């Protein structure tokens, strides 16, 4: 969802994009190009927009991967921000399932938010991750300042994925 840029609230396919990072700018350009080419050639498009995926592997760049690696490496403390921002977290297995189900159907098209539709505080989700994985590590709150370009409260509108999954 980095093609959106700084935004607060629920994101859906009609949310305007104003990316602020090179990665977000590239994703937005790719999304626009795909839309243009599909319309021009009469091709159906699904753009699956992922949110904060939670997995328990040390590989990757997410806060969860870094935390898992730090715990495996025997670190007692993990430097952290205050963690009060709210994001949309999707467990890795659910994310994979939702993607598989979404691409296996042709009824719901366009931009599909692979999201829970519910924002959660980052600190709460990270503490839960530590408990779920029995990690022997403590968060060092306030070790880093919040980044000014991070949205304070952002989540995906899960209406389309819920429809695909038969929930709505």
Tokens 């880093």, located at residue: 144
Contact 112, 160 (CB under 8 A): yes
Tokens of 59: 């590989």
Q: Count how many Cα atoms sit within 13 Å of the Cα of residue 49 in the half-sphere of its side chain.
A: 31
Which residue among the candidates 23, 51, 87, 149 is catalytic per the annotation?
23
Please, which residues bridge with residue 83 across strands?
A: none
Tell me if residue 123 falls in helix, strand or coil.
helix
Name the E strands within the chain.
9-11, 46-50, 52-54, 77-79, 86-91, 110-114, 119-121, 138-140, 154-156
Note every long-range contact of 148-151, with CB atoms under 8 Å and residues 24 or more positions apart, other chains counting.
149/6, 149/20, 149/21, 150/6, 150/85, 151/6, 151/7, 151/8, 151/85
Quick check: is 23 catalytic?
A: yes
User: Catalytic residue positions?
Assistant: 23
């Amino acid at each position: 969802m980095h093609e959106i840029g700084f935004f607060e609230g629920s994101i859906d396919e009609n949310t305007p994009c104003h990316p602020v990072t090179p990665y977000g700018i590239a994703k937005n350009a790719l999304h626009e190009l795909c839309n243009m080419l599909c319309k021009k050639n009469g091709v159906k498009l699904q753009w699956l927009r992922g949110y904060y995926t939670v997995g328990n592997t040390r590989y990757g760049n997410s806060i969860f991967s870094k935390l898992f690696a730090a715990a495996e490496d025997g670190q007692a403390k993990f430097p952290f921000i205050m963690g009060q921002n709210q994001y949309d977290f999707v467990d890795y297995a659910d994310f994979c399932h939702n993607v598989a189900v979404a691409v296996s159907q042709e009824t719901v098209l366009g931009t599909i938010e692979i999201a829970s539709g519910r924002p959660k505080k980052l600190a709460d989700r990270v503490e839960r991750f530590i408990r779920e994985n029995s990690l022997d590590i403590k968060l060092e709150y306030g070790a880093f300042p919040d980044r000014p370009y991070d949205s304070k409260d952002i989540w995906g509108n899960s209406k389309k994925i819920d429809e695909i999954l038969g929930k709505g």
